[in-house]
Structure 1
Amino acid sequence: MDDDPVASRLSAVYPDLPPGERAIVRVLLDDYPFAALGSLRALAERAGVSPPTASRLFDRLGYAGFAGFQSAVRDGARDRSRLREFVTRSPGMRRAAEDLRAGLDSTLAAVTEQLLDSVGTLLSQAASVWAMGGPLSELAAEYLIRQLAGLRPGVHRVPGSAPARARALLDLPGPAALVAYDFRRYSPGTARFAEAACARGARLVLITDAWESPLAARAETLIRLPPEAAGPIAPLAHQIAVTELLLVAAAARLDPARRLADLDELTQAL
């Protein structure tokens, strides 16, 4: 479902919807795509809302009513079916899929329970948490920040410019945690900021590749992705998978229910 544009769009807009429309989205995502293929009334009844409420959701999303939404869902299902057929028939694509799966399995196996316990405790207890990455891995850092900020306060992305980074270091509250993603070709900017932050007492969690970032010696916790996770395009999926595990470990040590409820309420009010 993650590769379906309609489902991805529903997930993206969910936090900004009013409660009735969020109920519709939950039903759709919990039983996708089948929940989208019945009648509008049946969908509304499953969500416990009125048909007009359900209809407003599809108008809001820009579809030509519920019929237009259903058409988009069916088109997406046909496209995925063609993609699966292509992958099955193409030896090159099949090999690429197998390599990606093997790399992901090796990556998850490398993140031991001891590592998760250490990082989960740090991310939940540090006075503040900062994250940064390189040209591609900054996407994983951004994902960590966005998700963790919903679970606890004091979570920040390391800014990009030198003056902004200097101000961040100047006011770095302690004890701070810094999560750095650093892969070949290693980022000098990441190294400079991490070195300066560690000199000011920050505790470094480094996520790197099998060949190790120059920051490895500085890291309090080192998560090294195995060689199988490497490739000509350095799959982001492996970095995101590790990030998901770290978030789960942190969430298990927090009690975010009240914060998430307040966040949802405030989002609707603004």
Structure 2
Amino acid sequence: MENDPVADRLSAVYPELPPGERAIVRVLLDDYPFAALGSLRALAERAGVSPPTASRLFDRLGYAGFADFQAAVRDGARDRSRLLEFVTGAPGRGAPDASSPGPPGASSPGASSPAASSPGGDGAGAPEPSGLRRAAEDLRAGLDGTLASVTDPLLEASAALLAGADTVWALGGPLSELAAEYLIRQLASLRPGAHRVPGSAQARARTLLDLGGGDVVVAYDFRRYSPDTARFVEAARARGARLLLVTDAWESPLSAAAQVLIRLPREAAGPIAPLAHEIAVTELLLVATAARLAPAARLADLEALTQSL
């Protein structure tokens, strides 16, 4: 839904909305545009709110009712993923085609160079960035925004949880589980008692048996939010475990249960799901935790054991 004006508007107003209307926006964006194309009652039921609450959202957005909103969705939505847009050369975001400028220094037969078309070398007439260059710029800008959003107080609170927990358990969704795996691999070098949440229901149940108030669960939860992650976290919270949640700008439904909430900004996006941003945040968490633990002796033991095996 890249560059879809209705989806962009929903994303922009989300932080300003009351909880019920936020729930409607989450449903719409999780299954966009299809969630918008049913009845108002069905949409409200999916979000767990009343139809009048849903109606208020569309009034707030300036539509003349839900039908007017649906018409705007039909006009503006494009049934394609960001990655499909990129590889098929969608305007302003796609991969280069035969008419796109190539890398710096390259030229097509018969084409004049940027210098030749802009006397004096002042940049006039310079080609637009290629699709790949644009993607790199978007990734850099998103990464900058992500790192800026993780403030010192957030890092300190996160490090206190990760360093002081009896045991740290981490889990994620289909892609963000890679960030959870990276966190645990590195954290296990810094302190004992760092584990991935197992995958099967039986193994998760055995894990929950021993969870308590001294334990911390780190969950990476991004749209589409994982029901499996939610079930485990809710069960762990019921047994007293604390939650460090890394999520997106639209916020996982688990946000209200988090002791520490790290919310990546809207700009952390690109043609492919931005795992780089999740890993970058994880790196910051690990550095902050290492500063609290002073793990030099443990790391030296680990290096000696590695050399002996």
Instruction: Name the TM-score, length of structure 2 as normaliser.
Output: 0.58
C-alpha distance 87-97 of structure 1, shift in aligned 2 (>3 A):
farther
Q: Does 1:249 align with 2:275?
A: no
Q: How far off its partner does 1:200 sit?
A: 0.7
SS at match of 2:301: helix
Q: For residues 132 and 103 of structure 2, what CA distance do their matches in structure 1 show?
A: 5
**Inter-partner Cα distance in structure 1 for 2:237 and 2:208:** 10
Distance 1:226-1:146 versus aligned 2 partners, 3 A rule: same
Q: 1:260 is matched with which residue?
A: 299
Q: Is the 8 A contact 1:229 1:238 kept in 2?
A: yes
Instruction: Tell me which residue corresponds to 1:233.
Output: 272
Establish whether residue 161 from structure 1 lines up as the match of residue 200 from structure 2: yes
Partner of 2:308: 269
Of the three residues 174, 190, 197, the one matched with 1:151 is 190
Give the 5 Å matches for 1:83-232. 88=104, 91-232=130-271
**TM superposition shift of 1:86:** 6.2
Shift in Å, 1:230: 2.3
How far off is 1:231 after superposition?
3.2
Equivalent residue, structure 2, for 1:34:
none
In the superposition, relative to structure 1, how do residues 87 and 176 fare at CA in structure 2: closer, same or farther (>3 Å)?
A: farther
Alignment partner of 2:186: what SS? helix
Equivalent-residue separation in structure 2 for 1:177 and 1:188 (angstroms): 19
Q: Is the 8 A contact 2:212 2:240 kept in 1?
A: no
Structure 1 vs Structure 2: percent identity of aligned residues? 74
- Residues 87, 260 of structure 1: alpha-carbon distance in 2 compared, 3 angstrom cutoff: farther
User: Partners of 1:192 and 1:148 in 2: how far apart?
Assistant: 24
Structure 1: which 5+ runs fail to align? 1-84
Q: What whole-Å deviation, never above 9, does each CA across 1:145-192 have from its counterpart, x for those lacking one? A: 000000000100000000000000001254101110000111000000
How far apart are the structure 2 equivalents of 1:142 and 1:128? 15
CA distance in 2, matches of 1:166, 1:233: 34
Q: State the alpha-carbon separation in 2 of the partners of residues 181 and 210 from structure 1.
A: 13
**Aligned residue pairs, count:** 186
Give the alignment's Cα RMSD to 1 decimal. Answer: 1.5
Q: TM-score, normalised by structure 1?
A: 0.66
1:183-234 Cα distance to aligned partner (Å, 9 max, x none) = 0111000000000001111110000001111101111111000000023421
Q: Which has the higher helix share?
A: 1
Q: Distance in 2 between matches of 1:231 and 1:104?
A: 11
How far the C-alpha of 1:94 sits from its partner, in A, is: 1.1
Alpha-carbon distance in structure 1 between the residues aligned to 2:103 and 2:180? 31
CA distance in 1, matches of 2:274, 2:267: 11
Task: Give the SS at the match of 1:229.
Answer: coil
Counterpart of 1:259, as a letter, is R
Contact 2:171 2:218 in 1 (8 A): yes
Which runs of 5 or more residues in structure 2 are unaligned? 1-100, 107-128
Q: Which amino acid aligns with 1:252?
A: A
Distance 1:243 1:165 in 2: 23
Shift in CA distance, 265/110, structure 1 to aligned 2, threshold 3 Å? same
8 Å Cα contact 1:191/1:215 also seen in 2 = yes
For residues 270 and 224 of structure 2, the distance between their equivalents in structure 1, rounded to whole angstroms, comes to: 13
Larger Rg, first or second structure (1 or 2): 2
Match of 2:113? none
CA distance in 2, matches of 1:220, 1:110: 17
SS in structure 1 at match of 2:138: helix
Partner Cα separation in structure 1 for residue 139 and residue 270 of structure 2: 9
